[in-house]
């Protein structure tokens, strides 16, 4: 339980930070916000990497599957967000 | 590398994620923000490679990790670079699915590998399993509906649906309690995943096409919460921080979308519009003898000597992929000295911000893409409003008729402009299934046809005139 409280604290504070910044994102950029935050939520990739390194066979296989789809999420998310944002430029011509 | 250094690197990565999202508050800083996020991710991955569990596992583990990353990156990059921008809602649904699925898998993997998990680990594993599986299957259903593959775009409802969903949720929780009390029996976790998967499918099938923005935003939030739960499984700060940021983001978008439809989240999730009281006006009664049909030539003449034109893009524009033609039309009008702006309703399209991305793809300056509240006061000074493939979001019944099923929904007040041209395939109702008095209004001209073809005809007619 002692270990849980600091984690819960971090969780709550991060939610507040999230609400604070995200309410400032204009509707103009809501789609890139979704795909970009989605890419970031692919952070599970870290857990997947650790599982792949496990000596337990089942953990390793599940971890590998997770690693592949988490990587799709991360790489696909950041790239497609970049592609979209690249179009939101000031047109001076 | 010591675990302190790894944790410090995670902290730096978390800060980069926060700055990254903050970059998205303005189009000028958004590209950099996204890059900061990606840098944070790279740092976090590098640091994890140096973790004792991986570093100590030797070359074979590295090989598998490298293989998995290369495979995933290839698929991800191919998807991201190939996908049509009109298909962004599907892409986001798919990415949501992968994020949620990965979280549920990792939680399961940890549970299998842990001989004696703590209560925290077990509870968090159940949470990850439930949320992750709902996200995975729910997002796949959303993807399917958006693509129109197996399931229809319209809501799929059947009697007793809510009761069944309630029972499934209770079963998942019950199995979850079994996981916590007996973490060694992995079948219980498998049961949690199976039941939650079924629930994910059943929760998403009643959500209809035009409600998709809400569903996608909510599933986005779930994918974040699933990652945060996995963070509790691993006692890993960066997963918790990142997951809760994304969870908060999805919730905010969900609320924004619900407000833009003047509906409660429960109402959207149950998939019932037009059933919650309110009589549906008879279409014949509203349209009979009042609808004025126009042609490209007639519309072209409308633009003689006007000063301000507003274009209202809707889902129909996305379907007929008319964004480039619409931009050409706007350029043509602007070359005649006419001021052209775009009115973007928050729920136009199939996901939050859908129309903005579409018009940005067609090289429209983002300063011309106006939010509903910003542009609504200006319709009275607008000479011509052109509505392309939109219906419910410009239905004045929402404002005038308290008995309408969409009463109170904020709309774009196009009916207040001098002349309204509606480009649409037919008089068929929009998603809400109700007739639109705008189409029968004195100042409205109906221009029937496919969005792209109609705009092309219009451009040709203006050039001829």
Q: Do A27 and B352 touch (CB under 8 A)?
A: yes
The per-residue pLDDT for B262 is 84
d(CA B99, CA A39): 8
Tell me what the mean pLDDT of segment A44-65 comes to.
94
Looking at chain B, which residue has its C-alpha nearest residue A30? Answer: B353
d(CA B38, CA B13): 9
Quote the tokens at residue B225: 């919460």
Q: How close B287 comes to chain A (CA, Å)?
A: 34
Q: Do B68 and A50 touch (CB under 8 A)?
A: no
Q: Do B24 and A25 touch (CB under 8 A)?
A: yes
**How many residues make up chain A in this entry?**
93
Tell me what the mean pLDDT of segment A30-52 comes to.
94
Query: Where residue A92 falls among pLDDT bands split at 50, 70, 90?
Result: low
The per-residue pLDDT for A91 is 61
The per-residue pLDDT for B218 is 93
Window 402-421 of B: residues touching A by CB (8 A cutoff) are none
The per-residue pLDDT for B271 is 65
d(CA A89, CA B4): 41
Query: Where residue A90 falls among pLDDT bands split at 50, 70, 90?
Result: low
Closest CA to B399 of B385, B412, B418: B412
pLDDT tens digits, chain B, 465 residues: what are they? 578 999 999 999 999 999 999 999 999 999 999 999 999 999 999 999 988 888 888 888 899 999 999 999 999 999 999 998 888 999 999 999 999 999 999 999 999 988 888 999 999 999 999 999 999 999 999 999 988 888 887 788 888 888 999 999 999 999 999 999 998 889 999 999 999 999 999 999 988 877 888 899 999 999 999 999 999 999 999 999 999 999 999 999 999 889 888 888 887 777 654 444 445 567 777 888 888 999 999 999 999 889 999 999 998 898 889 999 999 999 999 999 999 999 999 988 888 899 999 999 999 999 999 999 999 999 999 999 999 999 889 999 999 888 888 888 999 999 999 999 999 988 888 777 788 999 999 999 999 999 999 999 999 999 887
* B278-322 tens-digit pLDDT: 455 677 778 888 889 999 999 999 998 899 999 999 988 988 899
Residues of A with Cβ-Cβ distance to B88 under 8 angstroms? 31, 35, 80, 84
Among A28, A64, A86, most B C-beta atoms within 10 A, so best to mutate, is A28
The per-residue pLDDT for B360 is 92
The per-residue pLDDT for B69 is 96
Q: Over 70: is that where the pLDDT of A93 sits?
A: no
Sole residue written with tokens 């409802």: B157
Three-point CA angle B338, B343, B346, nearest 5° = 170
Residues of A with Cβ-Cβ distance to B106 under 8 angstroms? 44, 47-48, 51, 62-63, 66, 70
Q: Of the candidates B17, B26, B352, which has its C-beta nearest A30's C-beta? A: B352
CB B142 within 8 A of CB B93: yes
Tell me what the mean pLDDT of segment A42-57 comes to.
94
* B136-171 tens-digit pLDDT: 999 999 999 988 888 887 788 888 888 999 999 999
Q: Of the candidates B34, B108, B216, which has its C-beta nearest A62's C-beta? A: B108
d(CA B132, CA B166): 18
The per-residue pLDDT for B272 is 57
């Amino acid at each position: 339980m002692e270990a849980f409280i600091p984690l819960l604290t971090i969780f709550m504070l991060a939610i507040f930070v999230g609400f604070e910044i995200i309410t400032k994102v204009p509707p103009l950029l809501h789609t890139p916000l979704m795909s970009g935050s989605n890419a970031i939520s692919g952070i599970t990739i870290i857990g997947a990497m650790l599982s792949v390194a496990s000596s337990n066979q089942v953990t390793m296989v599940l971890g590998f599957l997770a690693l592949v789809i988490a990587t799709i999420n991360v790489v696909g998310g950041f790239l497609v967000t970049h592609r979209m944002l690249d179009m939101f430029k000031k047109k001076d011509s | 590398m010591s675990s302190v250094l790894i944790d410090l690197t995670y902290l730096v990565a978390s800060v980069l994620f926060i700055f990254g999202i903050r970059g998205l508050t303005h189009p000028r800083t958004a590209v950099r923000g996204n890059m900061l996020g990606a840098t944070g991710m790279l740092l976090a991955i590098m640091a994890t490679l140096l973790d004792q569990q991986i570093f100590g596992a030797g070359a074979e583990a590295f090989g598998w990790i490298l293989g998995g990353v290369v495979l995933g990156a290839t698929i991800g990059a191919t998807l991201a670079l190939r996908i049509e921008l009109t298909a962004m809602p599907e892409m986001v649904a798919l990415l949501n699915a992968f994020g949620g699925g990965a979280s549920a898998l990792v939680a399961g993997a940890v549970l299998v590998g842990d001989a004696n998990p703590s209560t925290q680990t077990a509870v968090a594993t159940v949470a990850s399993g439930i949320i992750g599986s709902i996200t995975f299957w729910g997002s796949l259903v959303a993807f399917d509906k958006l693509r129109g593959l197996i399931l229809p775009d319209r809501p799929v409802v059947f009697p007793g649906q809510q009761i069944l969903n309630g029972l499934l949720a209770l079963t998942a929780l019950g199995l979850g309690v079994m996981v916590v009390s007996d973490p060694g029996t992995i079948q219980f976790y498998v049961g949690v995943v199976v039941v939650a998967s079924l629930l994910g499918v059943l929760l998403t099938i009643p959500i209809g096409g035009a409600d998709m923005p809400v569903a996608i935003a909510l599933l986005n939030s779930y994918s974040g919460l699933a990652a945060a739960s996995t963070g509790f499984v691993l006692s890993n700060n960066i997963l918790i921080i990142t997951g809760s940021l994304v969870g908060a983001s999805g919730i905010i978008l969900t609320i924004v979308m619900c407000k833009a439809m003047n509906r409660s989240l429960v109402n959207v999730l149950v998939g019932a519009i037009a059933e919650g009281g309110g009589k549906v006006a008879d279409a014949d009664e509203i349209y009979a003898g009042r609808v004025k049909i126009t042609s490209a030539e007639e519309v072209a003449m409308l633009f003689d000597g006007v000063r301000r034109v507003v274009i209202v893009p809707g889902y129909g524009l996305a379907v007929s992929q008319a964004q480039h033609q619409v931009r050409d039309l706007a350029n043509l009008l602007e070359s005649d000295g006419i001021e052209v702006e775009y009115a973007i309703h928050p729920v136009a399209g199939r996901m939050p911000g859908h129309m903005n991305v579409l018009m940005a793809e067609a090289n429209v300056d983002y300063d011309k893409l106006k939010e509903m509240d910003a542009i609504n006061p200006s319709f009275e000074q607008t000479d011509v409003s052109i509505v392309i493939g939109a219906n419910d979001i410009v239905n004045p019944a929402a404002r005038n008729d308290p008995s309408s099923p969409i009463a109170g929904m904020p709309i774009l007040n196009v009916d207040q402009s001098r002349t309204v041209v509606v480009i649409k395939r037919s008089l068929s109702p929009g998603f809400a299934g109700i007739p639109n008095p705008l189409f029968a209004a004195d100042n409205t001209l109906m221009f029937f046809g496919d969005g792209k073809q109609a705009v092309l005809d219009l451009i040709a007619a203006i050039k001829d005139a």
